[in-house]
């Protein structure tokens, strides 16, 4: 990362010239922001947004034609918002007070719920507060939007396989959705702590989501689809740093302390999406990531690319053998998203591996080894009085496949080299349902503008395949832990104030992999005020 800043300093004259001649748009729609981020796909499927947006490399950035007020008007043309960023604009200088958000989460029996940034897996009540401001001078923008989280972190029932009680509350400030960004037309260079979302999933993502707080990173990315003679491209190339509290419960260790090496980790990842010019509404993409302990990263030999941007280096069996002395973990996924605006429907699939394939023979003889996938759809049905029916479904599969019988690969997010796996601040960076879990989700919402009512059904298989027995044999647990959930969803707007709520009634069969059933009430309330 230091070398990146040195390069930027070396070419500072060029950057100053670009300041003068280029104009950019860079304010983002934070991942998970109620009222906006969750409506982007709906707007696209109803023909109100450009089909060239893949929504597989988020956050979404406002740009010419889709600025903040335009987006709110697309959702509800009767909203009547008068936003601060328009009243405080002068020439190329722009200032805005960002929406203020307040979130409360509650669990009655044990930790549950994910995709909530800095909030932790805990029993009892916890809250988060976020606020901030945005300023833009020509192509340079600064967005400060920190987050404060407090959790009572009450003691809960633990078992031999799951859970731990710290006996103390949790509170922490995070930089949140903050960034400093230089916008160069359709691309940007940024230093940021914003949450990222990679891939087509609606409820989960294999490699990057908003389950954990946003981590410190530098990025080179598109801020809108980059159109070329052969089609449109979107990407995010990221280098960053992961760390955690080594004494606290870790999501990738069934909420028990993990005690890994007490040092930060170097992360490098990329997501690249391509829409062929001759296939409108069809997207192909890949994500790839690599992370390792910082001291090991400094020992890495080879070119600049191999040391600092390994996701851009070609991985061969020879290079893998040479690098075997440096412990690192990587993963790759391929995905596709297909939208049909005429029929107001989309389908998507993401398929990934967390283990290197040594050669074609290795791939062909055991193609599902160390794999995981996400598949889903969304269908919009137009009703009377400007109402919409949104039907969404998704399957996430991260448990080991049947290949575990002859070749153990560990669960998704663990591969042995980096003890804590793909985590930041003790939370999984990708799909937050839990280590090695499978999830099936169906959700139906009736929408009118910003308002909606809905229902959600969810089933979670908690680590259905695991290492058991004194000889490290692999097999099914004696008691399978499955969660069945019925959720009620609602959102209502009053002028500039938006209130969002979700309540899930969860029946845990064989909670903690011990015989017996428990009942948990999960509640989440979001409030946001648009200035």
- 172 has pLDDT over 80: yes
Rounded distance between C-alpha atoms, residue 360 and residue 122, angstroms? 44
- 467 has pLDDT over 60: no
Q: Are strands 465-468 and 473-476 parallel, antiparallel or unpaired?
A: antiparallel
- 452 has pLDDT over 80: yes
Strand ranges (DSSP E) for 329-450? 329-340, 345-353, 371-382, 388-397, 423-424, 427-428, 438-448
pLDDT the model gives residue 85: 43
Q: Between the CA atoms of 28, 33, 34 and 35, what dihedral angle is there, to the nearest 10 degrees?
A: 0
pLDDT the model gives residue 496: 87
CB 423 within 8 A of CB 212: yes
CA distance between the termini of the chain: 36
Helix, strand, coil: what percent of the chain each, to 5? Answer: 15, 45, 40
Each residue's pLDDT tens digit, 73-100: 888 877 555 544 444 666 678 888 999 9
Rounded distance between C-alpha atoms, residue 154 and residue 172, angstroms? 17
**What's the CATH superfamily of 2-529?**
Capsule assembly protein Wzi (2.40.160.130)
Q: Where are the domains of the chain?
A: 2-529
pLDDT the model gives residue 42: 95
pLDDT the model gives residue 391: 98
- 336 has pLDDT over 50: yes
Task: Verify cis geometry, omega within 30 degrees of 0, for the bond prior to 353.
Answer: no
Greater confidence, 92 or 104? 104
- 262 has pLDDT over 50: yes
pLDDT the model gives residue 465: 78
CA 459-462-463 angle, 5° bins: 140
Work out the pLDDT band at 223, boundaries 50, 70, 90: very high
pLDDT the model gives residue 317: 46
Rounded distance between C-alpha atoms, residue 151 and residue 246, angstroms? 19
Mean pLDDT, the chain, as a whole number?
Answer: 87
Each residue's pLDDT tens digit, 124-153: 999 999 999 999 998 999 999 999 999 999
pLDDT the model gives residue 90: 67
- 71 has pLDDT over 90: no
Rounded distance between C-alpha atoms, residue 182 and residue 46, angstroms? 32
Letter string b/e over residues 295-332, b meaning 16 or more CB atoms within 10 A of that residue's CB: ebbeebeeeeebbbbbbebebeeeeeeebeebebbbbb
Each residue's pLDDT tens digit, 271-329: 999 999 999 899 999 999 999 999 999 888 888 998 999 999 876 544 444 455 788 88
Rounded distance between C-alpha atoms, residue 414 and residue 417, angstroms? 8
Work out the pLDDT band at 113, boundaries 50, 70, 90: very high
pLDDT the model gives residue 92: 75
Token pair 């042995």 is at which residue?
416
pLDDT the model gives residue 324: 57
Each residue's pLDDT tens digit, 177-200: 999 999 998 999 999 999 999 999
The average pLDDT across 232-250 equals 94
Which range of 29-33, 277-281, 359-363, 502-506 scores highest in mean pLDDT? It is: 502-506
């Amino acid at each position: 990362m230091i070398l990146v800043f040195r390069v930027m300093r070396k070419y500072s004259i060029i950057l100053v010239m670009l300041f003068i001649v280029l104009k950019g748009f860079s304010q983002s729609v934070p991942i998970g922001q109620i009222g906006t981020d969750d409506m982007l796909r709906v707007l696209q499927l109803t023909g109100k947004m450009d089909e060239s947006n893949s929504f597989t490399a988020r956050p979404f950035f406002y740009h010419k034609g889709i600025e903040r007020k335009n987006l709110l008007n697309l959702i509800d043309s009767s909203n009547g918002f008068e936003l601060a960023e328009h009243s405080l604009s002068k020439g190329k200088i722009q200032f805005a007070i960002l929406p203020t958000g307040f979130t409360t989460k509650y669990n009655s029996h044990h930790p549950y719920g994910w995709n909530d940034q800095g909030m932790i897996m805990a029993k009892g009540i916890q809250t988060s507060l976020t606020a901030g401001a945005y300023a833009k001078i020509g192509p340079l923008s600064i967005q400060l939007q920190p987050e404060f989280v407090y959790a009572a972190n009450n003691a809960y029932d633990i078992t031999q396989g799951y859970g731990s009680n710290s006996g103390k509350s949790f509170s922490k400030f995070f930089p949140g959705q903050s960034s400093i960004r230089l916008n160069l037309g359709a691309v940007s260079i940024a230093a940021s702590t914003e949450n990222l979302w990679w891939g087509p999933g609606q409820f989960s993502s294999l490699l990057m989501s908003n389950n954990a707080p946003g981590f410190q990173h530098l990025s080179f990315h598109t801020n809108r689809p980059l159109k070329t003679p052969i089609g449109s491209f979107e990407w995010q190339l990221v280098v960053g740093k992961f760390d955690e509290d080594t004494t606290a419960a870790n999501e990738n260790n069934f909420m028990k302390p993990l005690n890994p090496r007490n040092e930060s980790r170097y992360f490098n990842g990329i997501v690249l999406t391509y829409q062929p010019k001759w296939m409108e509404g069809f997207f192909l993409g890949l994500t790839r990531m690599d992370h390792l302990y910082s001291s090991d990263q400094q020992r890495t030999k080879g070119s600049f690319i191999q040391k600092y941007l390994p996701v851009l280096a070609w991985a061969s069996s020879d290079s893998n053998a040479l690098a075997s002395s440096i412990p690192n973990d990587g993963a790759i996924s391929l995905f596709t998203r297909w939208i049909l605006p005429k029929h107001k429907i989309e389908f998507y699939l993401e398929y990934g591996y967390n283990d290197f394939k040594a050669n074609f023979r290795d791939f062909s003889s055991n193609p599902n080894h160390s794999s995981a996938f996400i598949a889903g759809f969304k269908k919009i049905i137009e009703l009377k009085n400007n109402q919409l029916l949104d039907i969404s479904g998704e399957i996430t599969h991260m448990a080991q496949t049947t290949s575990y019988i002859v070749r153990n690969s560990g669960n998704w997010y663990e591969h042995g080299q980096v003890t804590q796996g793909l985590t930041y601040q003790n939370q999984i960076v990708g799909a937050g349902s839990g280590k090695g879990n499978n999830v099936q989700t169906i959700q139906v919402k009736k929408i009118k503008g910003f308002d909606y009512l809905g229902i959600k059904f969810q089933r979670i298989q908690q680590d259905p395949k695991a290492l058991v027995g004194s000889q490290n044999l692999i097999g099914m647990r004696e008691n399978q832990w499955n969660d069945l959930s019925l959720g009620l969803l609602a959102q209502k707007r009053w002028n500039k104030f938006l209130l969002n709520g979700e309540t899930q009634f969860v029946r845990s069969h064989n909670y903690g992999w011990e015989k017996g059933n428990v009942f948990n009430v999960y509640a989440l309330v979001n409030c946001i005020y648009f200035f």
